[in-house]
Structure 1
């Protein structure tokens, strides 16, 4: 079998098929993850779980997600993005179906962890596939399109799940999206392939020592941890906080998050294109976005009614995700094309530790203070610290139209 060693320098038409399939797979895992937010209050009522304890379900998911990111990146570089993307999404969809049958909190948490364990592989597999098919000079746009999946997942879940719950109960949403995930998984297994200009070598487990000693990847991991503290803390808790903290109906709370997600979808490819064409380092643009994200969280926390939420939601949506394609585009830039999957999985595993920790912490803060504002102030601390860390990354300028050499990527400095 062949293994892709360096990224393509050509613009082959099939790269758009690869991008669409990677985006579809990542969208479905994002929908699966985001289904919890609008369904959480109904699940709590059905299983007899207190509001403060709901964070444990999301933490169970993200613990599994961290594990799959750490292992999935390594397996992607070893087995290839087609196998990892298709098989992991199929199994994640299966656990979505199982969660829809859960009748106890313990079983539900275990199934959430199962969803997370298999959902985390699509990210690194998608980054690897895009790195293979898109030259470095085009990756900002490609990663921007790819990363719209996480925002679109939020929009789809919040537009569909509240209405499915009203019509058929919360279980219907997990069954519906579980089946949809399995269908997309089959499409990936059939149509994903490697680029034609690969170097023919025996597949082997990649050597990760050069990644572990890369100081800039560590800073990227820590900065992403802080950034996702704010992003996924909002996704996990915003519905419940608006429903319980501001007496907003579930459907209207879902509508606020839909506006948030739509703004994020529009922002990501635009920011990706700007990073390709502007004479500005990606780390600098990401730092600006993270500072604005922190300020937007504070502003959202100061609102006390539906009108205010509607006005601030699009602003928050732009900054809550605009940094993500910039951080993702930095990964192959710092690590090199050959280890892009492993680097993506390792950094995202670290990033998702923030996602795993924040639901429980935010639940404790809200339980103690009963304050909508202090919950969002707690979220705002994360991206502010992330801005400081990302600003310290020594960014290597990409060489347009060519892949990074390993020596350049390993150095990871100007």
Structure 2
């Protein structure tokens, strides 16, 4: 018996998930181009700037771990609506803050509420999209992280010059609040449930025994160490280390992130069509990322940065839709939210640690290259970790379809409430 045609509503789901993830990525990326102005405004030394990003990512990691569980339990609609409303409101508060301690606390709270979009979005995508579209859907969804960096670096430097750094936080916070209302109005929960069963607390113990998920977490940790280390520090390092203007530094980062907007869906689509699995492509991309960071760190001129930025951007982001799409393959559809949240929490530890690590290294050595060599260690570690993950190439048998496919073919129905 042929499976029923997928609902067109899946594109509404994908659009809202993508928009939510994009806005929280914009909120997260605003600190990079705004940090130098905040440093001058608040008289915060360069070496301490990374602490603000670290506070954000501490909250982000906590909410990833808890948010995936809440998504499986309560549904994505409620989780997304509340988290976006709170994150947007706190962004507005941060834009009006003048106290360093309060600023650190608000950054941590923004991260705490912004960290559930990934797990909630992946839960909806793996439920509403058929298995043959998961790679493409994940690729579109994951453009949010790079697009967020593009938007922040295209808008914030101009706002800093003409309206002050706080104005960008007010703008992006307001848009995030509006998006919260749209998610509550138009999203429907898409958690897969067996017909006739009540919603219960998910049992996540099998995830804790899944070695492949743990190694995938380590791989993503290394990748995000490089990606968000670059996003957080590249503006300041180019300005302070190579003495280029803030606007020029923003252009470099826009190019870096802009190429990934096209690359992520393309990588997901090609992977879907080839059917060769995701592990080996991820490894190749992470090795390329390592080499690109080392090359970028050796550059000194604006023109050289512009030349390397597209290649670095492809390598820094192309792995993410594949690592995201691997989660339901390794964990199964019923625990996709908890798995996505837990694995992404491990990934984001790289984002937590790297901002605080790069600042002292650059401050102590004064070396632009040393900072980028430290960033390059992350993706190299990630590529090595994937050597221990089992081959995820699909087998051409009915049983290989996995829990997500099984849920679609019979015995489970989407919860449309």
Q: TM-score range by the shorter chain?
A: over 0.9
Q: 2:382 aligns with which of 371, 383, 386?
A: 386
Q: Give runs of aligned pairs for residues 2-401 of structure 1, distance below 5 A.
A: 10-195=5-190, 199-200=194-195, 201-398=197-394
What root-mean-square deviation, in Å, do the aligned CA atoms of Structure 1 and Structure 2 show?
Answer: 1.9
Moved over 6 A (4+): 399-402, 406-409
Tell me, yes or no, if the aligned pair for 1:60 and 1:110 is still in contact at 8 Å: yes
Flag structure 2 segments of 5+ consecutive residues without an equivalent: 408-417
Distance 1:406 1:176 in 2: 39
Distance 1:162 1:76 in 2: 36
Question: In 1, distance between residues paired with 2:355 and 2:262?
Answer: 27
Within 1, Cα distance between the matches of 2:395 and 2:117? 27
Give, in angstroms, the shift of residue 197 of structure 1: 8.0
Please report how far the alpha carbon of residue 195 of structure 1 lies from its aligned counterpart in structure 2 after TM superposition. Answer: 4.7
Change (3 A) 1:12 1:37: same
5+ residue gaps, structure 1, are: 1-7, 410-414
C-alpha distance in 2 between matches for 1:48 and 1:198: 53
- Cα distance in structure 2, aligned partners of 1:9 and 1:61: 43
Cα distance in 2 for residues equivalent to 1:352 and 1:9: 37
Structure 1 match to 2:410 = none
Q: Is the 8 A contact 1:162 1:250 kept in 2?
A: yes
Aligned to 2:403: 405
Asked whether the equivalents of residues 133 and 195 of structure 1 are also in contact (C-alpha less than 8 Å), the reply is yes
Deviation sequence 1:46-81 (CA, Å, 0-9, x none): 111001100000000000000000000000000111
CA shift for structure 1 position 90: 1.0
Aligned residues: 402
With normalisation by structure 1, the TM-score equals 0.94
Give the secondary-structure state (helix, strand or coil) at the position aligned to 2:402: coil
Q: Residues 90 and 181 of structure 1 are in contact (CA less than 8 Å); yes or no, is this contact kept in structure 2?
A: yes
Deviation, 1:405, is 2.5
In structure 1, distance between residues paired with 2:368 and 2:241: 6
Q: Distance in 2 between matches of 1:275 and 1:164?
A: 39
Find the aligned partners of 2:248 and 2:395 in 1 and give their Cα distance: 47
Q: 1:370 to 1:18 in 2, by over 3 A?
A: same
Asked whether the equivalents of residues 127 and 191 of structure 2 are also in contact (C-alpha less than 8 Å), the reply is no
C-alpha separation in 2, matches of 1:408 and 1:292: 36
